[in-house]
Chains A and B, each alone.
Chain A
């Protein structure tokens, strides 16, 4: 399935900046960064449960927020990109 993760982490304190870095790191372990603090994850349900738990443990619910958008398996019809830095298609041919 395809999941879109966005977050808002308060960076007024040093701990907040640390939480922001950690949140980004977790997202990068499971998916790709498509915009600042917007990540797309191609992931199976078990891995997603793990990822979600890690994310929820990292943030501070009083000040930070996380939003998950579930795009399902048919996500290609639901995502459109315009402009710079196109995301890589993890199901298409991968070259480097």
Chain B
């Protein structure tokens, strides 16, 4: 079993990463801040103005350590990849499956069903935990409607209808999202999902964590030998990691939404931790961003039993396992893609 490796987050503006022996060294103002052996790392995520030596990029590409450059707010700028990894036969198989309408639909259906089922589990779990009876009632009603959506999604006959079903159930889910926020957490009222830019603190937090998850999904695709750009539910668009976005669908509610809710409900993050720019975009400040990243890393280290493989693993590795299961399906070893279902 692959070991869950750590991710290095570089958040200091003006930092420079270089290779020293088999380790990455973070230098700030010509002082060494941190030194980590590369074999302990799975990825390096750089925020803002961070430089990186070509020697380090080369050995990261060789050692399967993904490097991503993001803007200070988590928006994706660039990633470093070496020679295309994995198996060219697998990638060809992926392209063939993405070109054929029926196999695309079969995979997309499972992804959407997994997403809806997991969002529903999040609602039900929250309904059990809260005491306010009307919020509880609301959550349970939405969950009942979504139970129907899971079966309907599996019966859809076209990709567009499937996307419609996904959108509908997401609307149901986000309608009751604010019922999961504790009344003590002020300033986190949820009205509607807004992105590019997020217009309130809650959306800012969600968007930030979704982009962290996308980074992880992208490296999971690469590590499994799949092309992160060619998705099934998400169609090709230049620069968009379609397959990575497909993979995160099952994890949005289970990982990011739950983490966001617990950060807010435990008041680890408060509304004063955000700033509003002139354009109306709401952004996470520097220090709370570290709190969020630390919480995300910690959540990824929690152990869980994979429902399909029946194997103990960490939450962070789940997405790698899903990428591998998808690869197995594409190779023809599995009849269908088994989405991750949280129980």
Chain A positions within 8 Å of B, measured between CB atoms, are: 25, 28-32, 41-44, 47, 88, 90-96
Q: Which 9 A-B pairs have the closest CB atoms?
A: A29-B22, A96-B26, A93-B294, A29-B21, A93-B297, A96-B34, A94-B8, A90-B40, A96-B10
Name the B residues within 8 Å of A94 (CB-CB).
6-9, 34, 36, 297
Chain B, interface size category, equals 20 to 34
- A47 to B3 Cα, complex, angstroms: 13
- A96 to B6 Cα, complex, angstroms: 14
Q: Which of B11, B22, B37 contacts A95 (CB 8 A)?
A: B11
CB of B15 closer than 8 Å to a CB of A? yes
- A94 to B38 Cα, complex, angstroms: 13
Query: What would be 20 A-B contacts, judged by CB atoms less than 8 Å apart?
Result: A25-B21, A28-B21, A28-B35, A29-B21, A29-B37, A32-B35, A41-B37, A43-B39, A44-B39, A47-B39, A90-B36, A90-B40, A93-B9, A93-B297, A93-B298, A94-B8, A94-B36, A95-B11, A96-B11, A96-B33
Considering the complex, give the chain A residue whose CB is closest to the CB of B28. Answer: A96
- A30 to B38 Cα, complex, angstroms: 8
- A91 to B293 Cα, complex, angstroms: 14
Name the A residues within 8 Å of B297 (CB-CB).
92-94
Q: Known interface pairs A31-B37, A90-B36. Does A95 touch B9 (Cβ–Cβ under 8 Å)?
A: yes
Name the B residues within 8 Å of A92 (CB-CB).
6, 297
A28:B7 contact, CB within 8 angstroms:
no
